[in-house]
């Protein structure tokens, strides 16, 4: 059975049977914040005590864009959705790194950028296309020794993080306004765009951190078809 998103939510929608819902996650919200809010809206609107709701792929609080939420029996197919190719657009800022690899933490080291040319910016992209080894950020939700990595980071505890293989189908630069670069990346499940930005900075003999990120697509599911939490609540109460 091919999964399709329900883009026509009404008061008659059967969430227990199973739905694939597309949301435009706002900045500042965690993926779990969206799941919790959607679950509470469904429970209240349908007057039910319990329903399974989960998301198909974490999106960081400082990122916006497509977040897929599944309900009811379709939560069993979350792994299937997560495994699909993803498309992101974003911005990285050259000349400084942060511990979190994005703007969640302050710049901890400053680097030279005067040697960076447009030709170098474009040619460096080729180093990150195909199957590459990547180390997840210490500020991530992966679990090690019973805790999330970001919990270890905030406690100042050092843990070993192994590199793992991911695949980047393409990395394209769409605009250069030094020290910021905007890009589009098409990649596999498990790719951390924050790590990609950090590693890109090192490869260009400087430093970089992710300053903006938006998820545009997961497989055939597109941000263009996504709705806001407010619209979802409004439609389900009609």
Total residues found in the chain within this entry? 238
- Distance between CA atoms of residues 126 and 133, nearest Å: 14
Q: Count other C-beta atoms under 10 Å from residue 111's C-beta.
A: 18
- Distance between CA atoms of residues 172 and 142, nearest Å: 27
- Distance between CA atoms of residues 171 and 185, nearest Å: 5
Concerning whether 230 is annotated as a catalytic residue, the answer is no
- Which of helix, strand or coil describes residue 54? strand
Taking alpha carbons only, the member of 30, 34, 56 closest to residue 218 is 56
Look at strands 53-55 and 19-25 and give their pairing.
Answer: unpaired
CB hemisphere CA count around 15 (13 angstroms): 26
How is residue 39 written in tokens?
């679950």
Out of 33, 60, 64, 230, the active site residue is 60
- Distance between CA atoms of residues 40 and 51, nearest Å: 9
- Which of helix, strand or coil describes residue 85? coil
Number of H helices, E strands in the chain: 6, 13
Strand partners for 166: 132
- For the annotated catalytic residues, the residue numbers are 60
């Amino acid at each position: 059975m091919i999964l399709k998103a329900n883009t026509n939510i009404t008061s008659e929608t059967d969430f227990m049977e199973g739905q694939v819902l597309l949301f435009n996650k706002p900045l500042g919200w965690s993926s779990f914040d969206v799941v919790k809010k959607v679950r509470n809206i469904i429970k209240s609107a349908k007057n039910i005590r319990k329903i399974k709701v989960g998301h198909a792929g974490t999106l960081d609080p400082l990122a916006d864009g497509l977040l897929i939420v599944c309900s009811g029996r379709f939560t069993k197919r979350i792994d299937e959705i997560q495994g699909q190719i993803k498309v992101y657009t974003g911005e990285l800022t050259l000349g400084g790194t942060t511990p979190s690899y994005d703007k969640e933490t302050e710049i901890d080291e400053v680097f030279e950028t005067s040697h960076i040319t447009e030709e170098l910016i474009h040619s460096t992209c080729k180093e990150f296309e195909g199957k590459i080894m990547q180390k997840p950020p210490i500020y991530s939700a992966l679990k090690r020794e019973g805790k999330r990595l970001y919990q270890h980071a905030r406690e100042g505890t050092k843990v070993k993080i192994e590199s793992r293989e991911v695949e980047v189908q393409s990395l394209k630069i769409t605009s250069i306004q030094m020290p910021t670069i905007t890009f589009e990346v098409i990649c596999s499940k498990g790719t951390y765009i924050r790590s990609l930005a950090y590693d890109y900075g090192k490869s260009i003999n400087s430093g970089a951190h992710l300053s903006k990120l938006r998820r545009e697509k997961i497989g055939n599911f597109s941000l263009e078809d996504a709705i806001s939490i407010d619209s979802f609540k409004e439609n389900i109460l009609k």
